[in-house]
Amino acid sequence: MIYKTKFFALSELAHPRIINAIGEVNTWARLDAEVLQDLDYIREEWYLIHRSGIYCNRLNHNLDSRGLRPPDDQDGAFYSTHKSGNTFDLEPVNGQLESFYNFMIGLIKGGKLKAINTLEDFRYTKKWVHVAKMNTASRPLIIKP
């Protein structure tokens, strides 16, 4: 059974070209289920504290590559983990990015997330918080973009 998030539409999690090319079912299947469960947990917990949602892709702002990206996408690195369906760039609706970054560190260090264990260093990505599942025992692993 395919896991679908409670709080995010598929268009918020995957590039429109992927959805158009392979369809919704196949696109959902390419997204990591444990990471999607983590995204729902993150959204629930953030909302309880801040009464604010979380953005990923924002098509009305031309932001379409914050989730699953096509192989030839020009945003980000050639070997970006965004192309694996386990990495997302998140932005709190209330604009409290640094607070959200610290919130994410707390969730990861506290063992609250099943899969997400990696963040990009906030000093380099001040317009979003990059969250990912990577093959590491570090919790969190902080990387430079």
Q: Is residue 137 part of a domain?
A: yes
Q: Is residue 4 part of a domain?
A: no
Q: Is residue 3 part of a domain?
A: no
Tell me: pLDDT of 16 over 90: yes
Q: Is residue 18 part of a domain?
A: yes
Residue-wise pLDDT tens digits, 22-61 = 999 999 999 999 999 999 999 999 999 999 999 999 999 9
Q: Is residue 24 part of a domain?
A: yes
Residue 20 is predicted with a pLDDT of 98
Residue-range definition of the domain harbouring residue 138? 10-143
Residue 60 is predicted with a pLDDT of 96
Residue-wise pLDDT tens digits, 71-111 = 999 888 889 999 999 999 999 999 999 999 999 999 999 99
* Alpha carbon of residue 126 to chain centroid: 15
Q: Is residue 39 part of a domain?
A: yes
Q: Is residue 130 part of a domain?
A: yes
Residue 78 is predicted with a pLDDT of 87
Q: Is residue 1 part of a domain?
A: no
CATH number at residue 60: 3.30.1380
Question: What is the number of domains present in the chain?
Answer: 1
